[in-house]
Amino acid sequence: MIFCTVGTQLPYNRLLKLCDESASIMPDYNFFMQIGESDYIPKNSAWVRNINEIDYHDKLKKTQLIIGHAGMGTILSALDYNIPIILVPRKHALNEHRNDHQLATAHKFRHYSSIFVYDESSDFTELIFKALSFVGEYEVDKKSKEFSQKLVLIVNELLGN
């Protein structure tokens, strides 16, 4: 399954249009879209407005590729499940977010081998095929566990233990 998600906060019509167009020329692939408050209704794919956490994780278990905005929740999910992801950063100029931090986020994560960033110069469907053919794994858990360990020590220090 190819899972397209706009995240929990804001509508994102541009992302859904891109995905829906690709869905129409990729009939052998099963697309699923979480559209939030967007006005655009996908014609070539199943969709829901919002999804609860449990269903979300169920979907991710069956997902080969995520296409999403450059939100941290979406990126972390993709890395957690080791699923390749295409980021389509929201742009302030197109009124897609309050500022351009998603461009910065996308830029920071470019070097991850499983993260692909869409810019207008490339063909979206081609990028989907490229991302689908990604194979590989890497460790992301190690850093976050070290961080957690350090914070436990800091909490203990604050508590005077």
Tell me the closest approach of the beta carbon of residue 43 to other proteins, in angstroms: 27
Residue 5 parent element (H or E) = strand 2-5
Q: Which residues bind other proteins (CB under 8 A)?
A: 7-9, 52-54, 57, 71-77, 79, 101, 104-105, 107-108, 140, 143-152, 154-155, 158-159
Cross-strand bridge partners of residue 64 = none
Q: Which two tokens stand for residue 36?
A: 């939030």
Query: Residue 117 in contact with residue 106, Cβ under 8 Å?
Result: yes
CB of 150 to other proteins, least distance (A): 5
> Which CB sits closer to other proteins, 129 or 147?
147
Query: Terminal CA-to-CA distance of the chain, rounded, Å?
Result: 49
Q: Which is nearer to other proteins, 9 or 125 (CB)?
A: 9
Nearer to other proteins, 122 or 149 (CB): 149
Identity of residue 24: S
